[in-house]
Each structure stands twice: as C-alpha cells, then as structure tokens.
Structure 1
Amino acid sequence: MPGFDDAALSQDAFLGGEVQLLQPKQGYRAGVDPVLLAAAVPARPGDRVLELGCGGGPGLLCLAARVPDLKLTGVELQADYADLARRNAALNSVDMTVVEADLAELPMDLRQQQFDQVIANPPYYRAGAHSPAQDVGRQIALGGATELNVWFDTAARRLSHKGYLHMIQRADRLPEMLGACLGRLGSLEVLPLAARVGRSAELVLLRARKGGRAGFKLHAPLILHDGEAHLCDAESYRPDIRAVLRDGCALPWPR
C-alpha cells in the first residue's frame, strides 16, 4: 500500500494555521511557492480547479482556504504523495479528488472534464540539470522527466474556454514557458518575484488564458522582503506579502 508512515511525517501550519499539512520529514517539503501560486488565482465559488503535480496538496488546500465551494482535482504521479494529498484534504475537511497519474497520460474520465482554473508548480530544473537528491520524491519534484511543453499542452486541453492557467517557475525558464503557450493560450501576463529591491527575479508567476487575445504584459517585479539585505533572523516579508502567507489574502496582482 502506498503512503508515508506517520513517524516519517511532520504536521506543519500554513496560512497562520488555517491549513494543516502533513509532510515528509525527509523528502520534498512545500515552502512559500505553492502558497503564492494559490494566492494568484482569481477563482470564484463554484469554479472547477485542476492542479497538475499537486504533491501533498498545499496549493489546492491554500486556495480552498481563501475561496469556498470550489470543485478541486489534483493529479500526482507519485503514489506516496497522492495518498498524502488525500490525507491532507481529510485533515483540513476539504472535498478534493486526487488522481494518481502521469499528466501526459491522464485517465479517460479526467480527459473528458473541463476546468475553469488550472494551476501548476512544475519541477524547477530540467531532468539532470541539478544536483541529485537522495530522496526519490524530492528528486522528481526538483527535476522531473516530463518536458515543460507537456505541462502546457495538458493544461490547455483541460481548460474551458476563457479559463486561466497559473504557473510558478524559475525565471530562467520563462522563454520555454512563453514558447509553450504559442497556439495554445493567450492574454499572457508575467509577474516576476524578486526577493528584495535591486535583486533579479528568481521566480515568475505566469497567467495565461485559453482563448485570450489581450496583449502580452510583463509586470514590474513583486518584491517579497523589506530592505536591501537580510540583517537578522526575524521575518522580513513586506506587509502585503505577509498578508498572503499568514492571512490567506489574494496576491496583489498588478492591473
């Protein structure tokens, strides 16, 4: 049977304790990235939401904490993490369907569904382009074998007309992301995420719309921390970012 032993898990608080997440003590552990991703999604009650590569479920659960009455579906390749996502949904009393599958070969019943929102936090590195991790789950999370182009193809196929894709990814992979949208998704917006003023953005949030025709927008970087340097051990998130990470507020997406 798949699944982590209880002794191998920690229970961690997200959104100021609103979301409780079981995570492996050794292996892939969610940070702020899925929280920021979930906060960027302009979902409304009743929306159908699909997450590709949902892991233990932090993205969908953080979104559900902000927007009620969503119809949530997660796809996860690794059996242990799919099981963990189901456990985390139950722990947070959230109704969520988790499908164990390769996103490139979704089961037929899922291929017949359409979604208003698709979210994804794909591996940040191309397979083999990072130092190997000892834990298999972390290895796949860092550098999966599935090409980024496949993530976009699957997302576009599952989106309903005028539905949105939101993806968080390393900034140096932005050219791939934009290229993968050609012929599939439009109304592209990129929000760079920079740690501090004067720093280059290491991550980007991409918003794309199926059937969208608006011009491309490259927004000014969203700065995550106050000050030009980290001077002490205390948390230094800017107030608007702290509201996202601790209070579950929506991300201040530029207009």
Structure 2
Amino acid sequence: MPPFTIEYFFNEKLSICQPKEGYRFSVDPFALCGEVHPRPGDKIMDIGCGCGIIPLILCLKTPALCITAVEIQKELADIAGENIIKNHRQNQITVHHKDITQMTPSDIPGPQDIIISNPPYIKKNHGRINPHPQKATARHELTLTLDTLIKIASKWLKPHGTFHTIYPVSRLPELLGALSREKMTLETLRFIHPQKKEKAKLFMVKAGKHQNNAITIPPPLYLDTPGEQAGSAL
C-alpha cells in the first residue's frame, strides 16, 4: 500500500486510512451522510465509494445495514476493504472493485432501498484534468457521467427507493433534467454555502423513484458554522 494517513472521527469510533498524496475526501461525505436516514435492514449502494468513508458513517448511524460499495479504482477499493476490516464492518459492507456500469444482479443483493454517491463533479470535456490519475478519476467525469449515474440509480433502486447525491450548483439544471428523463422525482434540495455571506457552491438532493411528493427545501448548510460538518453526519 502507498503512503497513507489515518484520521479519527466521532470520538474515535471511526478510523479512516486514505492515500497521503492521492485522492482524499473533504467535508462532502459528512454533509451527504447527514441527509441520509436509513432504517435497520436497508439495502444501500454507494457508487464510487473511494476509501469507504460513506458506508462506514452510515453503519455508525444505523445498525444492520447491507451496503454494496462500488469503486472503479483498485487502489482505493483496496483501501476501502482495509478500512472496513479495521472498523469491523465486514458483515455489513461488501466492496466491489468494478465499473458500476458492469455490475450484474449477481453482484448486488436485490433492488436497493437507498443509492448514494459523492460523484465526480467536473463535467466531461470541461476544465483542466488533474495530473494525478487517482484525483483525475475521482474529480472528473472520465468513467462516470451525471447522466449515467442517474440511469444506474434508477435501474437498481426499489420502487419508492431514494437516491442521494451532491454536485456543484452550476449542474443543478442538468441533474433535474436527468432525473426527469428517468422518471425520478426531486424530494429534497439543500444548498451548501462556505460561509453565511457567500453564495451556495454545492447542493445535495434526495430523489425518489415513482413518487410525487412535494419538494422540500431545508435551511442551507453553512460549512463555517460549528457542528455543521462532521458532527452533522450522525
């Protein structure tokens, strides 16, 4: 394994190993997990799990989950597997080193109650590609576009299952169009601001399959407010 660091969260209930020089998670997984409220026994898929931070946070929130974590990059998938073992979650989380578009029913324990993804943000053929291959794949739509992500979510969700993701504000119209094409309905839209006096940079959505609920827009999330980051995930 290449050089790595270990971070501890939630009063050291969770320890996470991640590459020292490669792709490293930010506050996004914590913010996203704060919007997801699984029930015991739920089947969950994390698309692009990286080092496994999202599945591990969700297992802290809710007991007896069955999580399928998918990661296309072998190095990150291997680290996720190590993190799952280290945190004693082998009976709840299964990591697949695979392209999500190549997953088959034999890889997944049935339709999913929840699908979650902290996806590549930067649109295909836009922006300067990061020279570090691991960072490039995690941040740019080299292997997974927004349209493909929504199609995959629609394919593997149960009727009335929910999909959760996070994107830059500039991509909101594109995401709404992709949801509409897959007959998925926006349920919750929450904006994320770096500070109270700054414009929103990101948004999080919860979308339902075959639902027609009214849209809820909760108060914004301000990242400079104490307790609004890692603590909000539990």
* Of 83, 86, 106, the match for 2:81: 86
Match of 1:222 in 2: 221
Instruction: Report the alpha carbon displacement of residue 105 of structure 1 after superposing the two structures with TM.
Output: 2.0
Q: State the 1:133 CA deviation.
A: 2.0
Assess if the C-alpha contact under 8 Å between 2:35 and 2:233 holds in 1.
no
Q: Percent identity?
A: 27
Structure 2 counterpart of 1:117 = 114
1:77 alignment partner, one of 60, 67, 72: 72
CA distance in 1, matches of 2:73, 2:159: 30
Which residue is equivalent to 1:228? none
Q: Structure 2 CA distance, aligned partners of 1:97 and 1:188?
A: 28
Deviation at 1:98, TM superposition (A): 0.8
Contact 2:9 2:15 in 1 (8 A): yes
Deviation at 1:187, TM superposition (A): 4.2
* CA positional deviation for 1:217: 3.5
Change (3 A) 1:42 1:131: same
Number of aligned pairs?
230
Aligned 8 A contact 1:48 1:72 in 2: yes
- For residues 57 and 103 of structure 1, the distance between their equivalents in structure 2, rounded to whole angstroms, comes to 15
CA separation in 1, counterparts of 2:11 and 2:164? 23
Hey, what's the Cα distance between the residues in 2 that align with 1:26 and 1:66? 29
Partner-residue secondary structure (3-state), 1:40: coil
Contact 1:101/1:107, CA 8 A, preserved across alignment: no
8 A contact 1:65–1:248 mirrored in 2: no
Which residue type is aligned with residue 158 of structure 2?
S
Letter in structure 2 aligned against 1:173: R
Larger Rg computed on CA atoms = 1
The 1-side partners of 2:9 and 2:139 are apart by: 21
> How far is the alpha carbon of 1:222 from its aligned partner?
2.2
Partner letter of residue 127 of structure 2? H
The answer to whether the 8 Å contact 2:6/2:17 transfers is yes
Which residue in the other structure is 1:180 paired with? 178
CA–CA distance in structure 1, aligned partners of residues 185 and 167 of structure 2: 18
The Cα offsets for residues 188-246 of structure 1, whole Å up to 9 and x where unpaired, read as 32100112223111010100111111133444422232xxxxxxxxxxx334x15xx14
Letter in 2 for 1:119: I
TM-score by length of 1: 0.84
Q: Distance in 2 between matches of 1:208 and 1:48?
A: 16
Q: 1:238 aligns with which of 194, 213, 226?
A: 226
Task: Please give the per-residue CA displacement for 1:128-161, whole angstroms capped at 9, x wherever unaligned.
Answer: 4233323211111110222201001101111111
Unmatched tracts of structure 2, length 5 or more: none
Q: After the TM superposition, which parts of structure 1 deviate over 6 Å for at least 4 consecutive aligned residues?
A: none
Tell me whether 1:24 sits opposite 2:19 in the alignment.
Answer: yes
Q: Which moved more, 1:164-173 or 1:109-118?
A: 109-118
- C-alpha deviations, 1:41-69, integer Å up to 9, x for none? 11011111100111111111111111111
CA distance in 1, matches of 2:148, 2:217: 24
The 3 A distance-change label for structure 1 pair 169 and 15 is: farther
Aligned alpha-carbon RMSD (Å): 1.8
1:10 match: secondary structure: strand
User: Matches of 2:172 and 2:226 in 1, distance apart?
Assistant: 25
Q: Any idea what SS the aligned residue of 1:238 has?
A: coil
Q: Provide the rounded CA distance (Å) in 1 between the counterparts of 2:233 and 2:115.
A: 19
Cα deviation, residue 29, structure 1:
0.4
